[in-house]
Amino acid sequence: MSAVVAPVGEDHARHLDAADPLPARRAEFHVPPAAAGPHPEAAYLAGNSLGLQPRAVRAVLEEELADWARLGVEGHLEARRPWMPYHEFLRDPAARLVGGLPAETVVMNSLTVNLHLMMISFYRPTPARYAILIEDGAFPSDSYAVASQARLHGLDPAEAVVRLRPRPGEDDLRTEDVQGFLRAEGDRVALVLFGGVDYLTGGLADIPAITAAGRAAGAVVGWDLAHAAGNVPLRLHDWGVDWAAWCHYKYVNAGPGAVAGCFVHERHLADRGLPRLQGWWSTDPATRFAMGPEVDPVDTADSWQLSNPPILALAPVLASLRIFDDVGMEALRAKSLRLTGYLAGLLDALLEGLPARVVTPADPARRGAQLSVRIAGPPAGEVCRRLRHEHGVIADARQPDVVRLAPAPLYCTHHDAWRAATALAAVLGGPRRG
């Protein structure tokens, strides 16, 4: 790795936190108690799986519950945030989060539901152009989704789904290899669907370069931003991405199974020829209650909606997006680079000679807020269990051999990173405790 080696002592970690230009907003989140160790709170480095609960969520939820109790059905129009247009309150902050225009952005459904809704519209195979290009290491849900979409069109997924593999001995796809494939074989690719940040390695894809290559090859380009939204700055509109979908329960901290988000580039919004599934919320809200038999779509991403939004599920997303608006993704990215750079240096120093190696790209520009460590020896799940119960560190395992450490910059500190690195070294090299 090319990490900068820094002092590995606890005092240095505390000094870095005291001097950091963006202090962690840890006090604004509920941090689980430590199961062991001298610190009352856990070092929580699992925000790439489920973000912590913002303290502001309770107040926003209680406001909706109070309006429901006070108004009943009239809350659709008379609540302090009327329920009928509730998704509109999230439109602008969600657009800012992913670099889209408000008209291109909608908060709805769950991630995989949105992937399917987008593929209904944008995966239109022909006998000559039929392939869906994904990474070989794509998240399983994406693999299942694209295979089922191929079957929906009467195609054999073994032929229609093309999986690109990294070079032998490497963990992430190289951008130039994706570009080379699209130049050579792009005439058979109908859809490119990649993850913005690799869930296993934490590697950050070159979204603008791959998008440009896919579109130059004549394909539609979509992105699964589950591990990118709230993690790295995004410019979906400027990059020309055709569509994207993401969740809000990881880095955006909106709660388990939180309502997800979707982006459709403005060049597609007025295309009434696009096939799409439709429901009551697909129609123009100005005429929705005329109760007509035909959909009257609007030329925004709203027309991909199906049903009225779940207010009690949207409220935490609203509370979480307010925090991102307040801090800003550029400031969070800068803090994230400081945290992961420090953690990388610690891991270089403390894991030397131990049966482990970091598989996340060493170049800070090619990774998000996650460092993944491949373990040779004990199963990753056992390592994470010991981290939690012997050291008060909450990390995330991907079986059989990867431990993921994600110092999310909103609430993690350099001291959290120090605790995680020293604990991992102790588990891998020291005697079992307890």
Distance CA 288, CA 280 (A): 7
Q: How do 161-164 and 189-195 pair as beta strands?
A: unpaired
Contacts for 192 with CB less than 8 Å, ≥ 6 apart: 132, 133, 182, 210, 214, 219, 220, 221, 222
Q: How far apart are CA 124 and CA 136, in angstroms?
A: 22
Q: How many domains does the chain have?
A: 2
- Which secondary-structure segment (H or E) carries 394? strand 393-394
Q: Are residues 152 and 242 in the same domain?
A: yes
Which of 308, 341, 370 marks a domain boundary?
A: 308
Pair of tokens at residue 53: 């609960």
pLDDT value at residue 432: 47
Residue at 317 is within a domain: no
* Predicted model pTM: 0.95
- Which of 255, 276, 308 is where one domain is finished? 308
- Are 240 and 346 contained in the same domain? no
In a domain, 174, yes or no: yes
Query: In the chain, what is the straight-line distance between the N-terminal and C-terminal CA atoms, in Å?
Result: 33
Question: Does the residue 204 lie in any domain?
Answer: yes
CA distances from 328 to 94, 225, 246, 309, 361 (A): 12, 18, 18, 26, 25
Say yes or no: 227 and 298 in one domain: yes
On whether residue 97 sits in a domain, the answer given is: yes
**Residue 49 shares a structural domain with residue 94:** no
Determine, yes or no, domain membership for 313. no
Q: Is residue 18 a part of any domain in this protein?
A: yes
Are both 300 and 381 inside the same structural domain? Answer: no
pLDDT score, position 143:
98
Identify whether residues 225 and 292 lie together within a single domain. Answer: yes
Residue 60 covered by a domain: no
Q: Which of 249, 275, 308 is the last residue of a domain?
A: 308
The residue ranges of DSSP E strands in 257-326, in sequence order, are 261-264
Which residue stretches of the chain have pLDDT < 50?
A: 1-4, 431-434
Are 389 and 249 part of one and the same domain? no
Query: Do residues 178 and 258 share a domain?
Result: yes
Both 50 and 168 in one domain: the answer is no
Is the domain of 137 the same as that of 231? yes
Condensed to tens digits (0 to 9), the pLDDT of residues 97-118 reads 999 999 999 999 999 999 999 9
The whole-angstrom separation of Cα 15 and Cα 31 is 22
In a domain, 71, yes or no: no
336 and 300 both lie in a single domain: no
227 lies in the same domain as 128:
yes
What gap in Å lies between CA 80 and CA 322, rounded to an integer?
17
Please count the CA atoms within 13 angstroms of the CA of 366 that sit on its side-chain side.
14
The CATH number for 191's domain is 3.40.640.10
CATH number of the domain that 14 lies in?
Answer: 3.90.1150.10
State which residues form the domain around 44.
Answer: 10-54+328-429
